[in-house]
């Protein structure tokens, strides 16, 4: 029997190098990876933060607040909150803005008092979810037709193989008489677009109890921030819709599942209600929607919250 002693010194180094070269050649030929049998995969969304500036508390009938992202970061999505609001303050803008060149990304929100208005002081808060750039991220905008329907909507669709990261919308030429509602299209794990709609306010009833509504022409824009997945399980949209009843206001929370965090959110209210808040907590664990119904109308009504959650 022939005995072989363990390699030492230069011989050990040659054996080790040969083994490494053999492994590398095998990997190149078969597509296998060299190293850990289960390599860690990076999440789709880098660590993100929430920026949430507030306007002054006063009685200005129209307010716009901008939540800017830190330099070098991109806005994924965002939210809005009317502080000390009521059913006569309507949100008309929730817009993710991707800046060009050296500008800062931001999430811009606007709210206005309707034709009834309020004597209360109130403030408007904007939320921006910001992160280092996400590979393949795009912002899609779609403008709907100009008309004077009681409700009008339009959808912005994500490009092929990308999915919704953030959402928004904007009312054009509503003159403070049209409130914004938004929702995510597609399924929970394959969200493929954003629908933005406008609901005309009812106004003050006449002597016969009829509400005049709004007679002007207006339109709505939908915004979808989209990105590809790294893993098929990277995204999940959570929708929470309580049963319709007379509760006013309705406070609806949509929490993200374990391992995922909020990148954006949407809120919806059925006529005769308005969305007063689509806010995101600092830890990005949930989206909270606050809907308020027109106080002059009785009966059941509904609304829902949607949290866009990514790993």
From first to last of its 311 residues, the chain has per-residue pLDDT tens of 333 334 444 433 333 334 333 333 333 333 333 332 333 334 689 889 999 999 999 999 999 999 999 999 999 999 999 999 888 899 999 999 999 877 899 999 999 998 888 988 999 999 999 999 999 999 999 999 999 999 999 999 999 999 999 999 999 999 999 999 999 999 999 999 999 999 998 766 666 666 667 889 999 999 999 999 999 999 999 999 999 999 999 999 999 999 999 999 999 999 889 999 999 999 999 999 999 987 667 789 999 999 999 99
Model confidence pLDDT, tens digit, residues 46-90: 889 999 999 999 999 999 999 999 999 999 999 999 999 888 899
The b/e string for 20-39 (b: 16+ C-beta within 10 A; e otherwise) is: eeeeeeeeeeeeeeeeeeee
Give pLDDT, residue 205. 67
CB contact at 8 A, 157 and 223:
no
Rounded to two decimals, the pTM is 0.84
d(CA 306, CA 201): 23
Report the run of H or E that residue 16 belongs to, with start and end: helix 10-30
Using only C-alpha atoms, the chain has a radius of gyration, in whole angstroms, of 26
Q: If phi over 0 gives left and psi between -120 and 50 gives alpha, with beta otherwise, what is residue 28?
A: alpha
In degrees to the nearest 10, what's the CA dihedral of 192, 198, 199, 203? 160
Residue 209, pLDDT score: 60
Q: Give the burial class of 2: count Cβ atoms within 10 A of its Cβ; 0-12 exposed, 13-18 middle, 19 or more buried.
A: exposed
């Amino acid at each position: 029997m022939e005995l072989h002693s363990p390699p030492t010194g230069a011989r050990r180094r040659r054996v080790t190098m040969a083994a490494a070269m053999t492994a590398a050649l095998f990997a190149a030929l078969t597509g296998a990876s060299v190293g850990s049998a289960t390599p860690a995969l990076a999440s789709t969304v880098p660590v993100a933060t929430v920026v949430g500036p507030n306007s002054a508390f006063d009685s200005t009938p129209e307010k716009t607040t901008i939540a800017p992202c830190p330099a070098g970061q991109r806005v994924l999505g965002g939210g809005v909150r009317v502080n000390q609001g009521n059913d006569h303050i309507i949100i008309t803008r929730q817009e993710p803005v991707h800046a060009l060149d050296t500008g800062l990304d931001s999430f811009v929100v606007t709210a206005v008092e309707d034709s009834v208005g309020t004597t209360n002081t109130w403030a408007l808060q904007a939320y921006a979810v910001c992160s280092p750039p996400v590979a393949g991220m795009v912002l899609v905008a779609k403008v709907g037709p100009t008309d004077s329907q009681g409700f009008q909507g339009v959808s912005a669709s994500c490009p092929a193989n990308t999915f919704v990261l953030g959402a928004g919308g904007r009312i054009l030429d509503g003159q403070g008489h049209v409130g914004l509602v938004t929702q995510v299209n597609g399924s929970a794990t394959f969200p493929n677009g954003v629908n933005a709609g406008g609901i005309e306010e009812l106004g003050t009833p006449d002597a016969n109890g009829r509400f005049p509504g709004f007679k002007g022409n207006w339109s709505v824009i939908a915004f979808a921030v989209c990105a590809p997945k790294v893993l098929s399980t990277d995204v999940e949209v959570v929708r929470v819709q309580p049963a319709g009843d007379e509760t006013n206001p309705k406070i609806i929370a949509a929490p993200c599942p374990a391992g995922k965090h909020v990148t954006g959110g949407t809120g919806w209210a059925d006529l005769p209600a308005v969305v007063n808040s689509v806010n995101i907590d600092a830890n990005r664990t949930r989206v909270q929607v606050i809907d308020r119904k027109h106080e002059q109308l009785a009966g059941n009504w509904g609304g829902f919250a949607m949290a866009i959650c990514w790993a």
